[in-house]
Structure formats: C-alpha cells, structure tokens
Amino acid sequence: MEALQAVKSGNVERARRYVGLALKIINRSNTKMPKYLKRGTCKKCLTPLIPGLTARYRVRGVRKYVIISKTCLACGWVSRLWCRKTGK
C-alpha cells in the first residue's frame, strides 16, 4: 500500500525499496507470494505497476483466449497474462 502511495507522490525509488523489502521478507519466511505483489510489480526493476503512471496495459483477443500485456514504462519489461474467454 505504501509503495503505491510513494509512486503516486513521485518517489519511485522509495517504492522500489518497499517492494524489495517485502520480497525479502517473503523469501526469508518461505511463504507464498500474494497475487497483488506477483502481478502488480515489475520483475525486472521492482517498480509497482500502476496503469497510466508506471505501466501500460493492452488487451488482445485471440480465439479462445484474451491476452493482457503489461509493459513497465520505467524499464520496458513486458509480461503477458493469458485468460480464457467465458461464455458466448
């Protein structure tokens, strides 16, 4: 939560530090990483991904699947999340 507020106020380095500390605590305690931390941070530069500020989200439809691509605006890292379409 504090990392998101730090990014919104312009302190990207502080936000990266918060995310790094959270990941270090998770690794030391040998627990499962929560989805909001797994999907909401850049795996290359540890910046919290906020649409419009630090990330660009694009949605593409391919036959049975929808591909959500996230691009980090700080380092250019791209992540793709495949989701199955539901219903007709």
Write out the two tokens for 36.
Answer: 């909001």
The Cα 38–Cα 76 span in angstroms is 17
At 79 the pLDDT is 93
Residue type, 24: K
Q: Which domain holds residue 50?
A: 2-84
Q: What is the pLDDT along the chain (88 residues), one digit of tens a residue?
A: 788 888 888 888 898 999 999 999 999 999 999 998 888 899 999 999 989 999 999 999 878 889 999 999 999 999 999 988 876 6
Whole-number Å distance between alpha carbons of 5 and 12: 10
- Based on the structure, what is the number of domains in the chain? 1
**Residue 26 backbone class (left: φ over 0; alpha: ψ -120 to 50; beta: rest):** alpha
Q: What is the predicted pLDDT for the residue at 88?
A: 61
